[in-house]
Amino acid sequence: MGKASVKVPDGKLVNVETEGENSFQDVKIRGDFFIEPPEALQELENSLKGLNKGCSKERMVEKLETVEAELIGFSRKDIAEAVKQSVGDEK
């Protein structure tokens, strides 16, 4: 399991926990942010399941963009950044 946090400049804190050997089996996104509608959080988490851990941040953002949600104080790029850090990949 990997964990990482990203502090968004002038924004919120995004925490992620990831599980899986070569691909993401489970992703949890937490923090002091807001999302509308609130139930979209689980959809965002589910959108990353099955992705290869070595995929690019751009690919993660593409998957996250398939979920209709308004992210307040953070972005889909911030989530991707935290996920990459959780697996020790800063690229």
Q: What CATH homologous superfamily does 2-86 map to?
A: CO dehydrogenase flavoprotein, C-terminal domain (3.30.390.50)
Question: Please, what is the Cα angle at 17 between 67 and 35, to 5 degrees?
Answer: 35
Q: How confident is the model over 44-66, as a mean pLDDT?
A: 96
Predicted pLDDT at 91: 53
Query: Quick one: which of 41, 34, 48 has its CA closest to 68?
Result: 41
**Rounded Cα distance, 78 and 40, in Å:** 16
Predicted pLDDT at 10: 83
pTM, 2 dp: 0.94
Per DSSP, which regions of the chain are E strands?
A: 2-7, 13-19, 26-31, 34-36, 70-72
| 50 has a pLDDT exceeding 90 | yes
Return the C-alpha torsion angle 78, 84, 87, 91, nearest 10. Answer: -140
Q: What value does the mean pLDDT of the chain take?
A: 94
| Phi, psi of 13, deg, nearest 5 | -105, 130
